[in-house]
């Protein structure tokens, strides 16, 4: 099995933290040297371990914004 490589290009913000120090974050991440994508997942305090997450292209993130805004309005 090949190793997954990643580089956090930009930390946009933290959504939450748990008691063990892991943080759910929105970052821009390049996976395996590919084009960076927006990424939401939990990270260990040292950013050397991660949980499962979701990645979005810029177009997908723009499409998600009005959906989230409609939830906030209801």
Q: Structure tokens of 39?
A: 């990424």
- In this prediction, residue 72 carries a pLDDT of 80
- In this prediction, residue 1 carries a pLDDT of 56
Task: Of 40, 37, 6, 9, give the one whose Cα is nearest residue 23.
Answer: 40
- In this prediction, residue 58 carries a pLDDT of 96
Provide the Cα torsion 16, 21, 26, 29; round to 10°: -170
- In this prediction, residue 44 carries a pLDDT of 97
pTM of the model: 0.89
Residue 2 DSSP code: P
pLDDT tens string for the chain (74 positions)?
578 899 999 999 999 999 999 999 999 999 999 999 999 999 999 999 999 999 999 999 999 999 999 998 76
């Amino acid at each position: 099995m090949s190793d997954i490589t990643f580089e956090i290009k930009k930390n946009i913000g933290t959504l939450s933290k748990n008691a063990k120090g892991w943080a759910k974050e929105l970052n821009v991440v390049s996976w395996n040297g590919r084009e960076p994508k927006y990424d939401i997942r939990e990270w260990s305090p040292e950013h050397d371990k991660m949980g499962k997450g979701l990645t979005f292209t810029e177009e997908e993130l723009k499409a998600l914004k009005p959906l989230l805004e409609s939830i906030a309005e209801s």
